[in-house]
Structure 1
Amino acid sequence: MLSDGSWRIIRVGLVGLLLAAAVAGLVLGDTWLWVAVEWSPPAYAEFYARDGFDTPTTVVLLMAALVKAALLWLILRAPVRGPLDRREKALRRLLYLAVAYAIVLWYPVALLPDAVDAAFQLALWTAIDVLYLLVIRWRSRVLRAAAGTMFAVELAGMANELLDELDLPELGSGDIVGPVLMLAGMATIVITVVGQRRDGRWSRGTQVAGWLSVGVYALAILFNVLFVRIPSGSLVTLVVMDAVGLVSTVWIAATAREMPVEGRPADLPPVRRVIRVAVAAVAVLPIIALIHPEQTPHLTYTGRSMNCYAPPSFGDLKPAERDAMFLCRARNTDGGVPPMFPDSLSDQGVLAYGRALCRTEDRDEQKAILTRAGSERPAWGVDPWDLVYVCPEIIGATHPELLRSAEEMRAAETAYITEQNAKCRDPWPRTKGVAQATAKYFLFVDGDPGYMVHDPDDEAADRAAEQAMGKSYEDSVLTGVANSAVLVGHVADIVNLCLTVKALRTAPPPRTAGWDQVNEVPIVSRSGRLTVPEMGEGGEVGAGAPMPNLAIAGKGRYRLRVYVRVDDAGEEQHLVVVFPGASKKRLKLKP
Structure 2
Amino acid sequence: MGLVLGDAWLWAAVEWSPPGDAEFYSRGGFDTLTVAALLVAALVKAALLWLILRPPAPGPLDRRAKVLRRLLYLAVAYTLVPWWPIALLPDGFDTAFRLAQWTAIHILYLLVIRWRSRMLCAAAGAMFAVELAGTANVLLFELGLQELGSGGIVEVGSLLGGAATIILTVVGQRRDGRWSRGTLAAGWSSVGVYALVVLLGTLFSGSLAILVMTNAAGLVSAVWAAATARELPIEERPADPPPARRRAIRVAVAAVTVLPIIALIHPEQAAHLTYTGSTTDCYDRPASGDLKPAERDATFLCLVRSRDGGVPPMFPDSLSDQAILAYGRALCRTEDRAEQEALLTRAGSARPAWAAAPWNLVYVCPETIGETHPELLRSATEAEAATTAYILEENAQCRDPWPRTKGVAQATAKYFLFVDGDPGYLVHDPEDETAEKDAEQAMDRVYDDSVQIGVAGSAALVGHVADVTNLCLTVKAFHAAPPRRTAGWRQVNEVPIVSRTGRLTVPERGEGGEVGADAPIPNLAIAGKGRYRLRVYVRIDDAGDEQHLVVVFPGTSRKRLKLEP
Q: Distance in 2 between matches of 1:343 and 1:396?
A: 28
Q: Distance in 2 between matches of 1:566 and 1:301?
A: 53
Judging changes above 3 Å, is the alpha-carbon distance between structure 1 residues 478 and 337 closer, same or farther for their aligned structure 2 residues?
A: closer
Q: Distance in 2 between matches of 1:337 and 1:346?
A: 20
Does 1:327 pair with 2:294? Answer: no
1:547 paired residue number: 521
Describe the superposition over 1:244-298 as per-residue Cα deviations: whole angstroms up to 9, x where unpaired: xxxxxxxxxxxxxxxxxxxxxxxxxxxxxxxxxxxxxxxxxxxxxxxxx969621
- Give the superposition deviation at 1:314: 1.7
Note if contact 1:563-1:575 (Cα within 8 Å) is conserved in structure 2: yes
Q: Distance in 1 between matches of 2:275 and 2:434?
A: 47
Does 1:338 pair with 2:319? Answer: no
- Give the superposition deviation at 1:334: 2.5
1:454 paired residue number: 428
321, 333, 356: which is aligned to 2:330? 356
Where do 1:417-496 residues align within 5 Å? 417-496=391-470
338, 349, 360: which is aligned to 1:386? 360
Task: Give the match's secondary structure for 1:357.
Answer: helix
297, 304, 312: which is aligned to 2:270? 297
Note if contact 1:458-1:526 (Cα within 8 Å) is conserved in structure 2: yes
Q: Distance in 2 between matches of 1:325 and 1:562?
A: 46
Question: Percentage identity across aligned positions?
Answer: 76
- Give the superposition deviation at 1:310: 2.6
Where do 1:54-73 residues align within 5 Å? none
Where do 1:511-526 residues align within 5 Å? 511-526=485-500
Where do 1:402-417 residues align within 5 Å? 402-417=376-391
Where do 1:99-178 residues align within 5 Å? none
- Give the superposition deviation at 1:345: 1.9
Root-mean-square deviation (CA), in Å?
2.1
Q: Distance in 2 between matches of 1:479 and 1:587?
A: 11
2:502 paired residue number: 528
Judging changes above 3 Å, is the alpha-carbon distance between structure 1 residues 338 and 457 closer, same or farther for their aligned structure 2 residues?
A: closer
Q: Compute the TM-score of the two structures, normalised by the length of structure 1.
A: 0.49
Q: Distance in 1 between matches of 2:363 and 2:280?
A: 14
Describe the superposition over 1:114-166 as per-residue Cα deviations: whole angstroms up to 9, x where unpaired: xxxxxxxxxxxxxxxxxxxxxxxxxxxxxxxxxxxxxxxxxxxxxxxxxxxxx
Judging changes above 3 Å, is the alpha-carbon distance between structure 1 residues 554 and 335 closer, same or farther for their aligned structure 2 residues?
A: closer
1:69 paired residue number: none
Describe the superposition over 1:548-575 as per-residue Cα deviations: whole angstroms up to 9, x where unpaired: 1111111111111111111122111111
Q: Distance in 1 between matches of 2:272 and 2:342?
A: 25
Describe the superposition over 1:349-404 as per-residue Cα deviations: whole angstroms up to 9, x where unpaired: 11111111111111122122223323233222111111111110111111111122
Q: Distance in 2 between matches of 1:484 and 1:339?
A: 42
Task: Give the match's secondary structure for 2:484.
Answer: coil
Q: Distance in 1 between matches of 2:559 and 2:332?
A: 60
- 2:535 maps to a residue whose letter is R
Does 1:367 pair with 2:338? Answer: no
Note if contact 2:451-2:562 (Cα within 8 Å) is conserved in structure 1: no
Task: Give the match's secondary structure for 1:487.
Answer: strand
Q: Distance in 1 between matches of 2:348 and 2:456?
A: 53
- Give the superposition deviation at 1:445: 1.4
Does 1:574 pair with 2:548? Answer: yes
- Give the superposition deviation at 1:449: 0.6
Note if contact 1:516-1:566 (Cα within 8 Å) is conserved in structure 2: yes
Task: Give the match's secondary structure for 1:474.
Answer: coil
- Give the superposition deviation at 1:475: 3.6
Q: Distance in 1 between matches of 2:306 and 2:551?
A: 48
Q: Compute the TM-score of the two structures, normalised by the length of structure 2.
A: 0.51
Note if contact 1:301-1:323 (Cα within 8 Å) is conserved in structure 2: no
Q: Distance in 1 between matches of 2:394 and 2:438?
A: 30
- 1:297 maps to a residue whose letter is A
Task: Give the match's secondary structure for 2:270.
Answer: coil
Judging changes above 3 Å, is the alpha-carbon distance between structure 1 residues 411 and 307 closer, same or farther for their aligned structure 2 residues?
A: farther
- 1:394 maps to a residue whose letter is T
2:477 paired residue number: 503
| Structure 1 alignment gaps of length 5 or more | 1-292
Judging changes above 3 Å, is the alpha-carbon distance between structure 1 residues 527 and 402 closer, same or farther for their aligned structure 2 residues?
A: same
Note if contact 1:297-1:347 (Cα within 8 Å) is conserved in structure 2: no
Q: Distance in 2 between matches of 1:446 and 1:338?
A: 22
Note if contact 1:296-1:344 (Cα within 8 Å) is conserved in structure 2: no
Task: Give the match's secondary structure for 2:534.
Answer: strand
Judging changes above 3 Å, is the alpha-carbon distance between structure 1 residues 487 and 391 closer, same or farther for their aligned structure 2 residues?
A: same
Q: Distance in 1 between matches of 2:287 and 2:490?
A: 44
Note if contact 2:411-2:474 (Cα within 8 Å) is conserved in structure 1: yes
Note if contact 2:421-2:469 (Cα within 8 Å) is conserved in structure 1: no
- 1:453 maps to a residue whose letter is V
Q: Which moved more, 1:576-585 or 1:312-321?
A: 312-321
Note if contact 2:451-2:493 (Cα within 8 Å) is conserved in structure 1: no
Does 1:586 pair with 2:560? Answer: yes
Q: Distance in 2 between matches of 1:519 and 1:535?
A: 26
Describe the superposition over 1:29-61 as per-residue Cα deviations: whole angstroms up to 9, x where unpaired: xxxxxxxxxxxxxxxxxxxxxxxxxxxxxxxxx
- Give the superposition deviation at 1:317: 2.1
- 2:498 maps to a residue whose letter is V
2:93 paired residue number: none
Note if contact 2:447-2:453 (Cα within 8 Å) is conserved in structure 1: no
Judging changes above 3 Å, is the alpha-carbon distance between structure 1 residues 306 and 541 closer, same or farther for their aligned structure 2 residues?
A: same
- 1:345 maps to a residue whose letter is L
Q: Distance in 1 between matches of 2:340 and 2:417?
A: 32
| Structure 2 alignment gaps of length 5 or more | 1-265
Describe the superposition over 1:56-112 as per-residue Cα deviations: whole angstroms up to 9, x where unpaired: xxxxxxxxxxxxxxxxxxxxxxxxxxxxxxxxxxxxxxxxxxxxxxxxxxxxxxxxx
Note if contact 1:492-1:572 (Cα within 8 Å) is conserved in structure 2: yes
Note if contact 1:316-1:406 (Cα within 8 Å) is conserved in structure 2: yes
Note if contact 1:315-1:403 (Cα within 8 Å) is conserved in structure 2: yes
Q: Distance in 2 between matches of 1:329 and 1:546?
A: 34
- 1:423 maps to a residue whose letter is Q
- Give the superposition deviation at 1:467: 1.1
- Give the superposition deviation at 1:508: 1.1
Judging changes above 3 Å, is the alpha-carbon distance between structure 1 residues 521 and 313 closer, same or farther for their aligned structure 2 residues?
A: same
